[in-house]
Structure 1
Amino acid sequence: MELRHLRALVCIADCGNLTRAAQQLGMQQPPLTRLLQQLEAEMGTPLMERLPRGMRPTAAGLALVQEARMVLARVEAMAGLVQDAAQGGRGHIAIGFTSSAALHPLVAQVLRAFRAQWPRVKVALEEAGSGELLEALLAQRLHAALVRSAWEAQPSLSSRHVLTEPMVVVGPAEHALLQSKRALPLAQLRGQPLVLYKRPAGPGLHDGIVAACVGAGFHPQVVQEAPRLTATLSLVAAGLGLSIVPASMQHLRSDGLAFRRLSGAPGLVAPLILVSQRRPEAQAQALLQHLGSIFDQQLAQQPARRGAV
C-alpha cells in the first residue's frame, strides 16, 4: 500500500465517480481504476460499491477512507513541520552571555523579539564567564554567546561587533567623587581603592581599565576582585571601593550606589560582541541567521528610542 493508493481511494469516495476523481487527480481513468483494484486486492475485499451512476464506499471501504484521511493529514503536517524546521521555525538554540552583557537593554529586546517571532523555538540561556562561554562554544554546547571581550581567532567561531557603550564609575552614593553630575576625569581615581572583576572572567574589560588608568598617568589600586560584574556592585555597596563598569549596569540601580560618567579616557569602552559557531548544524544555522536579523532590526530602532526618551 502506498500513499497514492490512499489518495486515490479518498478522492473516489469524495467524488463518487471515477471520471470526476481522475480529473481531480490529474490522471486518466484506467490508471485510477488499476490503483483501486490493487488496493482492493491487497485488502482482500471490495472497497467501493459500483452503482449505476458512480460508486460509494463499502463498509470496509468507509473504514479505510477514514483511516486514510488521518494518514494523509499526518503526512501533510509532517511536510509542513520539516519545512518549518528547515527555515528555523522549530528546534532549539543555546545562547550564553556574561552577566554584564545580559544587563544591556538591547539583549532583552532581542530575546523578546526572537521569542515573539519564533514561539516554537526552544531558547536555552546560560550565564557564565568569558572563558567558560568560549569552552562551551568550542564544545558545541552553545550556538552563540554575548560577551564583552574580543576573542582570539578560532577557526570554528565567528564574531560580530554589535555595539560599544561607555564605562562609568560607580561607588557609594555619599562618596565625594560622585556628588557631581559632570563627567569625572579618570585621573582623579589615582589612589582610590578599586574593585575589579577577575581577569579570567572579563579579560577585555579588565585589561581596558588597567590600560586606561596607565594612560591617565597612574596604576589602579585594586583592593578586591570579584568573579562577576554583578558581584562587583555588591562589594562596592559594601564600601570596599569604587569600580568602573559598563554604563548599562546603571539599570541595576540599588540603594546606596551612585554612577558618574568618565572623561579623559577615550579608549575606555565596553563592546558587546556576538560570537557564534561558524558551521553549526543546518537548523541552528537558520536560527542564528534569524537572531542576527533581529539584532539588525533592534539596532536600527535604537536612535528612535533614544529620541523618544
Structure 2
Amino acid sequence: MELRHIRYFLAVAEEGNFTRAAEKIGIAQPPLSQQIRDLEKEIGFQLFHRIPHGAELTTAGEVFRERVLAIPAKVNEATEVARRAARGEIGSLNLGFTGASLLNPIVSRLIRTFRRDHPDVTFKLEEGNSVELRDDLLNGTLDIAILRPNVNDPGSILTYPLSSEALIAAIPKSRDPQPDCDEIDLLSLKNEPLVLTPRTIGLSLHDTAIATCRRAGFEPILGQPAPQITSIMAMVSAEQGISLVPECMRQLGLDNVSYKQLRTLDIKVSIATAILKDNSSPTAAAFVALSRKISRVGKSEAKHPDEI
C-alpha cells in the first residue's frame, strides 16, 4: 500500500465525489478511480458505494478511514523532523574546549549563536587541554573540539582556523618593572621564572612562549609548570613567576596581575575548530559551518600580523 493511495482515498471520502476529489488533488478522474480500485483490490474489500452523484463510504470504508486519517499528517511530521535532523537542527553535540578559549569573544559568540539557532540540540560541554581534547575526538567522546592546533595533529582530524589573538605578558604587579606602561620589553623580564603548562599537555602555547622569549633575545628560565591556564594565572598572582598568555586572559582581572603588550613583538596564538574527518553528524557539520562563517566575519573586523 502506497501513501498516495491513502491520500487519494481520504480525498474521495472527504469530498464524497470522485470528480471533485480529482480536482482537489490535481489528477484526472479516471486515474483516481483506478487508484481507488487498486487499493480496494489490495486490501480485499470495497471502500465506497458508487452512487449516481458521487461516492459514499461503506461500513468497512468508515472503519478504514478512522484508522488511516492521521497517517498523512504523521508522515509529514516525520519528514519534517528527519529534514531538521539532516540539517543538524536536532540531535546532540558533545563539544570540548580549552580553558582559555571560552574567554575569547569569537568562541563565546559561536556557542551563543549556535545554541540560539539550534534550540533543540542537546549540548554537552567538556573542558580539557588540547591533548586531552584530541584524544577525546579520536575515541569518539567528543564531536567537536575548540583547541590550539599544531603540526603534530593526526591526519584524521580536520582543523578550521577560528580565531587568533595577541600573546601578552602576565606579570605580578609587585614585580612589574614598568607599572605605568601598557606594553613591556620582554627582555626586561628575562630573569623572571616563566610559568607554562607542561609541553606534553600544552604543546602549541608552550612552544610559542619559548620561541617568543628566544626571539626577544634570551633563553627563558622555566618556573614550576601548571596544568591549566587558570592555575598559571593563579601562580602569577602569587608571585611565582610571569607567563605569556592569550590576550583574552585579561578578562580574568586577577588581583596582583598586570597584563602588557609585548613591545616590538607582534605574536599571535590561534585556536581552531576540530572534527574527525569521518564524523558524519549533521549537527557537528552545522557547528563547523557556523564556526567558519563567524571566523570569516571576525577576520574582516581585525588585522592579522604574522603568527609564530
Change (3 A) 1:159 1:41: closer
Counterpart-to-counterpart distance in 2, 1:194 and 1:167: 14
Match of 1:279 in 2: 278
Match of 1:107 in 2: 107
Counterpart-to-counterpart distance in 2, 1:168 and 1:53: 86
Per-residue deviation, 1:156: 1.5
Per-residue deviation, 1:63: 4.1
Counterpart-to-counterpart distance in 1, 2:295 and 2:182: 33
Counterpart-to-counterpart distance in 1, 2:153 and 2:175: 42
Q: Please say if residues 94 and 125 of structure 2, whose CA atoms lie closer than 8 Å, have aligned partners that are also in contact.
A: yes
Q: State the Cα deviation string for residues 166-201 of structure 1 (Å, max 9, x = none).
A: 112223333333612331100011111332222122
Q: Please say if residues 101 and 146 of structure 1, whose CA atoms lie closer than 8 Å, have aligned partners that are also in contact.
A: yes
Q: Which runs of 5+ in 1 are unaligned?
A: 304-309
Match of 1:307 in 2: none
Counterpart-to-counterpart distance in 1, 2:18 and 2:65: 16
Residues 205-220 of structure 1: pairs in structure 2 closer than 5 A: 205-220=205-220
Counterpart-to-counterpart distance in 1, 2:299 and 2:265: 28
Residues 18-97 of structure 1: pairs in structure 2 closer than 5 A: 18-40=18-40, 46-58=46-58, 60-97=60-97
TM-score, with structure 1 as normaliser: 0.85
| More displaced stretch, 5-14 vs 39-48 | 39-48
Per-residue deviation, 1:253: 1.4
Counterpart-to-counterpart distance in 2, 1:144 and 1:244: 27
Counterpart-to-counterpart distance in 2, 1:168 and 1:103: 15
Match of 2:166 in 1: 166
Q: Please say if residues 149 and 202 of structure 1, whose CA atoms lie closer than 8 Å, have aligned partners that are also in contact.
A: no
Match of 2:15 in 1: 15
Counterpart-to-counterpart distance in 2, 1:15 and 1:86: 36
Q: 3-state SS of the aligned residue for 2:261?
A: strand
Per-residue deviation, 1:121: 2.7
Counterpart-to-counterpart distance in 2, 1:289 and 1:86: 15
Per-residue deviation, 1:38: 4.8
| More displaced stretch, 4-13 vs 23-32 | 23-32
TM-score, with structure 2 as normaliser: 0.86
Counterpart-to-counterpart distance in 2, 1:38 and 1:149: 62
Per-residue deviation, 1:232: 0.9
Q: Please say if residues 89 and 121 of structure 1, whose CA atoms lie closer than 8 Å, have aligned partners that are also in contact.
A: yes
Q: Which runs of 5+ in 2 are unaligned?
A: 303-308
Change (3 A) 1:96 1:234: same
Per-residue deviation, 1:11: 0.6
Aligned length: 303
Match of 1:306 in 2: none
Give the alignment's Cα RMSD to 1 decimal.
2.7
Counterpart-to-counterpart distance in 1, 2:218 and 2:67: 81
Residues 1:198 and 2:198 are matched in the alignment: yes
Match of 1:224 in 2: 224
Per-residue deviation, 1:25: 3.4
2:79 alignment partner AA: A
